[in-house]
Amino acid sequence: MNRDRIDRSVSPQFKILTGSTQRASVGRSRWLVCLAAVLLLGLGATAPSRRIVLFLGDSITAGYGLELSQAYPALIQQRINQERLSFRVINAGQSGDTSAGGLARMDWLLKNKIDVLVLELGGNDGLRGLPVEVIRKNLQAIIDRAKKQYPRIKIVVAGMKMPPNMGGQYSREFEAMFAALAKKNNAALIPFILEDVGGVRQMNLPDGIHPTAKGHEIVAENVWKVLAPVLRSIDSPVTRS
């Protein structure tokens, strides 16, 4: 979607990147880095005993405007390491991505074993006004493909909200979609990944859209509250040497 159009139609505190030409090149570069990381995993560059947590998302997950080390998936890896859990995080966030875009990337991503999928997509679809049912079908298809390839995979659904100008009914249906997906798929739910960040000026970059490094720390806390029990349920702390 054209950024000017977004700026005019969406209140700054709730904007999410939908992808402009200039920013797409940054997203592609970061995506190449992520692909390289996944490939290295497949070649045995990391400890084979570590399970994989894949974060599939848009600019929020990609850490737009920041170093990858400042994005919330990297902060989640730090928490995992602190608790000595045997998981490795892969950041498959791509700025401007949509539910359809994420679905298109699944065949590649599923080439490597995934134990936990954190699904953070749909926000850009919503800002474009796509029918909620279309978004739901795409997200469900992502979950279905992951489960078909790895039946024991754990799913975490990251919820998002729409700004008031999208209309009350649409906003309610959009928000409820994430809870319904989580319930249908026996998945864990992060009610609103941007809780205490969206709409808080000091927690976002000057563009009013993307979280600052401090904002990502809060996002990481929102995610960790839900993700940590999932990880602990399938793993135990790494034995100290």
- The residues with which 66 forms a beta bridge, in sequence order, are none
Cα–Cα distance for residue pair 216/204, rounded to 1 Å:
9
Instruction: Answer for the pair 76, 53: CB distance below 8 angstroms, yes or no.
Output: yes
Which is catalytic among the residues 59, 95, 99, 171?
Answer: 59
Cα–Cα distance for residue pair 114/28, rounded to 1 Å:
22
Under DSSP, the state recorded for 111 is: T
Neighbours of 48 (CB within 10 A): 7
| CA trace torsion 100, 147, 222, 224 (10° rounding) | -140
Cα–Cα distance for residue pair 35/199, rounded to 1 Å:
32
Which is catalytic among the residues 7, 107, 196, 207?
Answer: 207
Q: Strands, E, within 3-69: which ranges? A: 51-57
Cα 226 to chain centroid, rounded: 13
59 included as an active-site residue: yes
216 included as an active-site residue: no
207 included as an active-site residue: yes
Which is catalytic among the residues 95, 97, 210, 216?
Answer: 210
SS (H, E, C) 166-197: HCHHHHHHHHHHHHHHHHHCCCEEECCCCCCC
Give me the DSSP letters along 53-100: EEEEESHHHHTTTS-GGGSHHHHHHHHHHHTTB-EEEEEEE-TT--HH
Residues tagged active-site: 59, 207, 210
